[in-house]
């Protein structure tokens, strides 16, 4: 069995992609389902994108989520 090495760029961008593609809609839908307003007068999706991408960048820089 032969394994393919992953690109270092893709490995570093993984948490950022996860934050933008999964966490952002999750945060937006959670806010809408709970009927909570997004902070700073933003719509739920831009707030979810800001939060998800910032968490993804922090995870990518630290090398872990927790």
pLDDT 10s digits, 3-54:
777 777 777 789 999 999 999 999 999 999 999 999 999 999 999 999 999 9
Dig out the tokens for 60 from the structure.
């990518």
- Give the start-end residues of each E strand in 1-66: none
Give the pLDDT band of residue 63 (cuts 50, 70, 90).
Answer: confident
| Termini Cα distance of the chain | 33
Predicted local confidence at residue 9, as pLDDT:
75
**pTM above the 0.85 mark?**
no
């Amino acid at each position: 069995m032969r394994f393919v090495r992953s690109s270092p760029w893709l490995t570093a961008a993984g948490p950022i992609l996860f934050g933008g593609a999964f966490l952002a809609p999750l945060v937006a839908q959670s806010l809408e389902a709970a009927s909570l307003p997004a902070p700073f007068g933003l719509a739920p999706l831009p707030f979810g994108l800001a939060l998800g991408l910032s968490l993804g960048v922090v995870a990518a820089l630290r090398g872990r989520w927790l």
